[in-house]
Every structure is written in structure tokens, then in C-alpha cells.
Amino acid sequence: MKKLLPQVDEWYRRRLRMVIWKQWKRIRTRLRNLIKLGVAKYKAWDYANTRKGYWRTANSPILNTSITIERLKQSGYIFFTDHYRKVNGVN
């Protein structure tokens, strides 16, 4: 489980980022939200206008640095590795 859960967590985080990106349907919404998350305006404009697919964009450096693991945890998402450590008392 120690090897499997981190891989599943990686996929899960990418999937969450993809769903969030998909919810921001319009370019204007994507731009505004990226700027709120601390991305520079010119970079936010570049990524808001991207023609790449949702799955590929979800793995981009911009989304990985703006929608961080800490932000996802603050939003209430629980990750498998954290739950496993909590239940089994493993650090």
C-alpha cells in the first residue's frame, strides 16, 4: 500500500485539477481565477487561452504551482496516503 497510494494520490490530484479547470469554462473566468491564485497576469493570459486538453493542462506547471496540495486540503479534499498514515499510525 505504501507504494500504491502515492501513485493513486498523484492521479487523484491531477484529476481534481482537471475538474477545477473544466469548471472554469470561459477564458475570462480562467484568467481571473489564475490571477487570484497568484499567477502573473501575462502567464495567466497565456494559460487561460491554451488550446491543450483538460488532462494535459491539469499536469502543467502553472496549475501544479497555483492549485497546490495545501490548497486542495484547505478545500476539504482528503488524500489516501494521509488517511492511511492516520489510520495505521505511520509517519
pLDDT in tens, 38-89: 999 999 999 999 999 999 999 999 999 999 999 999 999 989 888 888 888 7
- Rounded to 5 degrees, what angle do the CA atoms 69, 73, 78 make? 105
Q: In which region does residue 20 sit, left (phi positive, over 0), alpha (psi from -120 to 50) or beta (all else)?
A: alpha
Residue among 49, 23, 45, 51 nearest 32 (CA)? 45
pLDDT attached to residue 1: 79
pLDDT in tens, 9-29: 999 999 999 999 999 999 999
d(CA 57, CA 60): 5
Which pLDDT band holds residue 91 (cuts at 50, 70, 90)?
low
